[in-house]
């Protein structure tokens, strides 16, 4: 090898060592940071898996309590699920508990359970409608109307009509039932019951083809 080549290699080596001295700390820091991120991600994944397993276990406990008709124990388990922020597990458990409470004739307890759900959008609309129905059944039609506000979907209008009937405001009920029918599909299975409600309130059922929203 020529001396000039050796000098070139020596010069290149010095340049590499100088660059490493200047940037080595940054490289090492970057490696450490990358390792920390990877480790943190794995820890987070393991943490989520653990929480999911715990939530599933508590949900099973709720189901067992409901099957054995032990509603008091189910209430405790649902509260524990909600406290652990178990998401869909907590919501499903609360819905099952509310259903069991209604079947046991404990409508007030069911209302409390449903009110505890932290839901949004269309799901909240459905829950509010269920609460409103229970409020009417427990003799609180005014509270049901306040909860539903100016709801103008078919189900909302029907429930508002039910509340008006409970308050002996049959004229308002007829108007709401008529609006509800106009928004309901002709083939909907609940249509017949709604027609009966309208007639009981003193109204007449129009030809579906002639109904206007």
**Is the Cα torsion angle 212, 196, 192, 153 positive or negative in sign?**
positive
Q: Measure the CA–CA gap between 134 and 141, rounded to whole angstroms.
A: 9
**DSSP 3-state percent helix, strand, coil across the chain (nearest 5):** 80, 0, 20
Tokens of 128: 């509010």
Tokens of 22: 């200047």
| Inter-helix orientation angle 154-166/121-137, to 10° | 20
Contact status, residue 180 vs residue 195, Cβ threshold 8 Å: no
Q: Measure the CA–CA gap between 155 and 193, rounded to whole angstroms.
A: 12
Q: What is the pLDDT of residue 157?
A: 96
Q: How many CB atoms lie within 10 A of CB 181?
A: 24
Q: Which of 84-93, 143-152, 197-206 has the highest mean pLDDT?
A: 143-152
**Res. 169: pLDDT tops 50:** yes
**Res. 161: pLDDT tops 60:** yes
List pLDDT tens digits, range 51-106: 565 666 777 777 788 887 888 888 888 888 776 566 677 888 888 899 999 999 99
Nearest-Å Rg of the Cα atoms of the chain is 32
b/e code 40-69 from CB counts within 10 Å (16+ = b): eeeeeeeeeeeeeeebeebbebbeebbeee
In 3D, which of 129, 82, 77, 134 has the Cα closest to residue 110? 134
Q: What is the pLDDT of residue 9?
A: 56
Kindly report the pTM of this predicted structure: 0.69
> How many helices (H) and strands (E) would you count in the chain?
9, 0
Q: Measure the CA–CA gap between 212 and 88, rounded to whole angstroms.
A: 39
Higher-pLDDT residue of 141, 203: 141
Q: What is the pLDDT of residue 84?
A: 59
């Amino acid at each position: 090898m020529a001396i000039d080549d050796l000098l070139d290699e020596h010069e290149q080596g010095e340049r590499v060592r100088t660059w490493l001295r200047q940037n080595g700390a940054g490289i090492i820091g970057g490696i450490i940071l990358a390792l920390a991120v990877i480790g943190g991600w794995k820890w987070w994944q393991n943490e989520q898996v653990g929480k999911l397993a715990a939530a599933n276990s508590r949900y099973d406990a709720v189901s067992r309590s409901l099957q054995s008709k032990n509603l008091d124990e189910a209430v405790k388990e649902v509260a524990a699920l909600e406290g652990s922020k178990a998401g869909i597990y907590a919501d499903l458990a609360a819905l099952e508990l509310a259903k069991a409470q209604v079947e046991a004739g404990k409508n007030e307890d069911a209302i409390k359970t449903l009110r505890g759900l932290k839901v949004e959008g269309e799901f909240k609309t459905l829950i509010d409608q269920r609460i409103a129905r229970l409020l009417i059944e427990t003799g609180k039609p005014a509270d049901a109307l306040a909860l539903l506000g100016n709801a103008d979907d078919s189900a909302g209008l029907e429930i508002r009509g039910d509340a008006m009937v409970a308050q002996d405001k049959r004229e308002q009920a007829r108007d709401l039932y008529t609006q509800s029918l106009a928004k309901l599909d002709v083939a909907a299975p609940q249509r017949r019951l709604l027609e009966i409600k309208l007639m009981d309130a003193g109204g007449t059922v129009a030809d579906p083809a002639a109904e206007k929203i």
